[in-house]
Amino acid sequence: MSLLLRTPSPACGKPALAGLLGLLLFASSAALAGTSLNERRPAEPTGHVEVSNTAGTVSISGWDRREVEVTGELGKGAERLEFETSGKVTHVRVILPKKTRNVESSELVIRVPAGSSIAVNTVSADVQVRGVQGSQRLQTVSANIDTESAAEDVECKTVSGDVEIRGSGAPTLLTLTTVSGDATVDRVAGEVNANTVSGDFRLDLGAVSRSRLRSTSGDMSMSGQLTADARIDVEAISGDVRVDFDGPVNAEFDVSTFNGDIRNCFGPKPVRTSEYAPGRELRFREGPGSGRVRIKTLNGDVDVCRR
Amino acid sequence: MQGSKTAFEELYREHVGRVYGLCLRMTSDHALAEDLTQETFVQAWRNLPRFEARSSFGTWLHRIAVNTVLGQARRRSELLGDTGTIEQQLGDVLADEAAGEPGSTRDLEAAIAGLPPGARYVLVLAGVYGYSHEETSAMLGVAVGTCKAQLHRARKLLRQRLGEPQEQP
Amino acid sequence: MSPLTGKHERRLDQDLAGLPQSIEPRRDLWPGIAARLESGRVRPARRWAWQAAAAVLLVASSSIVTLQLVKSRVPAVADAPASAPVPSAMPAAFGPGHALDPEYLAAKEQLAEMLAQRVDAMPASARSKLAANLAELQRATAEINAALALQPGDPLLEELLLNAYQAELGVMANVNQLTRLNGTVNQTDSARIRL
C-alpha cells in the first residue's frame, strides 16, 4: 500500500472553493481562494517546531537555513495563521473561528531547519515529512501520515488515518498507534512499538532489539533481524500474526493461540495445549536462545518463518 | 432492580423459542437443551452491558447459545471419553420422538439429530438458521474453509439418510 | 453413489430453511433463570444506576451507541459476581463473574464522557470507524470472557483479556488526546519533545 499525499477533501457547502482546494498548494487566484502565505522567521538549528492545522495538508521538509518558512494557502474562513517563536519553539497554527462548522482547508508548506524536532497535530489534514532529523510527533484523527525517520524518536498516532514510514536503517524508537488506520514501515531499526485495533500493519524492519505489537483484529506482519538481546512481544485477538526473520535466529520462542493455527517454518511443530481444551502452543529455542519471541493470539493465525 | 428484570423477562419470552430451537437441534436432547437455554439467558443478563445494538439481539443470543453448547460438549466428551457413544445416544432421542409421526419434516429433524456433532452444528446454524459461512465459522470458532467442508459433508450425509431406510452406519 | 443434481440440493436447502426456527420448551424456563439472576448478588460498593434491559435495545442505532452505553453508567458486566458458583474449585480470576478494578471503571467512564463531547467534532468517517472499533474491542472482551467461562483460569485467556481492557482504555485515551485539537497544541504534549 503506497501513500501519496492525497487530494484534500473539499470543505462542505462551498463548491467553488472545493474545486480550488484540489489544485496546487500555492495560492493562485487570491480573490476566490483563501489567503496566500509567505512568511519566514529565524529559528534554532535544533529547535522545535509545532504545527497544527485542522483540515487541508501539512507538508514539512528540512533545509539548511536557520529559518522556518511557511508558504501555502490559508483557507477562506480561517481566522489567521499564528506563526511565532518563543525561545527554541516555533509555533505554526491555523486558527479557526470558535464555532466553525464548515472547516476550511488550509495548505501549509513548511520548511524547517533539518535538525529540528517537530510536533504536528491535525484532524483531517494529511501530513508529509521529509528530511527532518530531529524527533517527530505526528498526530491526526483521519488524515494520512507519510514520513521519513532519521535516527531520532518518531511517534505517529491516528484514529483512521494510514501511516507510512521510511527509515534510514539507523536504530531509533518508533511508536505507532492507530485505531483503524493501516501502517507500512520500511527500514526502521531499533525499538518499534505498534498498537492498533483494526489496522493492518506491515513492518519491514532492520535490526530490531525491542518490539511490542498489539492488535485486536488488525493483521500484523513483521520482518527483521533479531539482535542478540531482542525482546519481541506480539499479542493479537483476532488478527493474524506473521513474523519473518532475516539472518541468524537466536531466541527462545513462546507462541500460543486459543483458536488459531500456528505455522512454523523452522524448528518443532506446535502442540495442543490440552487434550480437552482448544489451544495450541509452540515453545522452543533456536540457537543460544538469548533473544525472546513471544506471540499470543485468541483467534489469529501465527506464522513464524525465516527468510 | 425489579423493573429491569421484568424487561429482561420480556426479552426472554420473545427469544426463548429461537434459543431453545438452536440448542435442541445442536444437542438433540430436550433436557440438556433446556439447561443450556437457561445458561444462555443467564450469561446474556451478565453480558448485557456489552451488547452493542449493531447486531440483532437474537443473533447475539445465538452466539452465546453456541458457546454454551460447545462448552458443555467439551466437558461431556471429557467425562464420557467417547463421542461415538454420545452421538448415537443423542441421535436416538429425536428419532424416537419422530417414530409416531410419519412425515418428511420429522424425518429431516431425525436425520439432523443423527449427524456427527461438527457437521450438525454447521448445518443447523447455516442451513436452518441461515447464518452465512463467515458468521457460522465465527460462532463455532473454526475457519471458514472448515465450515464449508462440514456443511458439504452434512448435506451429503443427510441425503444418504433421507434417501435410504434409517440405519446407523 | 451417483452425484446428485443441483435440484436435489436446492430441495434439501429449502426443506432445511423451512424448518421452524423457534421451538417452545416443554416447560417454562424463566423461573430457573430468574432465580439465578438474583441469588448471591453482592451490592458493589459503588452504586451504578441500572438501565432497563429493554432500554438498551431502544438506544438509537447510531454509531455512538457504545459510547452511550458506557456514558450512561450501565454497570460493567463484571460488577455482578457469579450468581451460581462455578463448579471448579477456584473462582475464575477473570471471566464473566469477576470484578473489574473500580479505578479502571472510573477512568473508563471519565474518558467516555470526555470522548462523547469531542466525538461530534470528528470527521464523520473517523467517528463511525471509532465506534466500530470500540464495538470490536467490546466484542473481543466478550469473546474472551465467554472462553474464560468455559476455561476458567486459562493463563493465555487471562493475559489477552487484561490487554483487551487496557487496549480499550488506551484507545479512548488516545482519541481524547487526538481530538483535543482546537487550533492549538497542548503545552504538556510539546514539553515531552526534546528541545
Tell me the pLDDT of chain B (169 aa) as tens digits. Answer: 345 677 788 889 989 999 999 999 999 888 889 999 999 999 998 888 777 666 788 899 999 999 999 988 877 766 655 444 444 444 444 444 444 334 456 688 888 988 888 899 999 999 999 998 888 988 998 888 788 888 888 888 888 888 744 333 3
B-facing residues of A in 201-260 (CB < 8 A) are 259
Distances (CA, A) of C91 to A37, A153, C152, C180: 66, 44, 8, 42
Which of A259, A261, A276 comes nearest B78 by C-beta?
A: A276
Question: Which residues in chain B have their CB less than 8 angstroms from residue A278's CB?
Answer: 141
Does C33 contact B38 at a Cβ distance shorter than 8 Å? yes
Closest by Cα among A266, B86, A290 to A282: A266
- In the block, cell 443467564 appears at B42
A116-171: pLDDT as tens digits: 999 999 999 999 999 999 999 999 999 999 999 998 999 999 999 999 999 999 99
Q: C40 exposed, middle or buried (CB, 10 Å; 0-12, 13-18, 19+)? A: exposed
- Classify domain B2-163 by CATH number: 1.20.140.160
Q: Is B152 on the interface with C (CB under 8 A)?
A: no
Q: Where are the domains of chain A?
A: 149-307
What band does A210 get if pLDDT is binned at 50, 70 and 90?
Answer: very high
Q: Is A278 on the interface with B (CB under 8 A)?
A: yes
- Reply yes or no on whether the pLDDT at C79 is more than 50: no
| Mean pLDDT, range A206-215, rounded to an integer | 95
- Looking at residue A100, its pLDDT comes to 67
Q: Are residues B28 and B94 in contact, defined by beta-carbon separation less than 8 angstroms?
A: yes
- Reply yes or no on whether the pLDDT at A9 is more than 60: no
A34-80: pLDDT as tens digits: 889 999 999 999 999 999 999 999 999 999 999 999 999 998 888 88
- What are A222's strand-pairing partners? A203, A243
- Reply yes or no on whether the pLDDT at A252 is more than 80: yes
How many angstroms separate the CA of residue A200 from the nearest CA in chain B? Answer: 20
| Mean pLDDT, range C36-57, rounded to an integer | 36
A21-34: pLDDT as tens digits: 433 333 333 334 58
- Looking at residue B122, its pLDDT comes to 94
Mutate to test the interface with B, among C77, C100, C165 (most CBs of B within 10 A): C77
- In the block, cell 480561517 appears at A78
Q: Are residues A300 and A280 in contact, defined by beta-carbon separation less than 8 angstroms?
A: no
The fraction of chain A above a pLDDT of 70, given in percent, is: 88
CA dihedral for C106, C111, C114, C115, sign (positive or negative): negative
Distances (CA, A) of C21 to B58, B126, B158: 12, 12, 19
Question: Which residues in chain B have their CB less than 8 angstroms from residue A299's CB?
Answer: 141
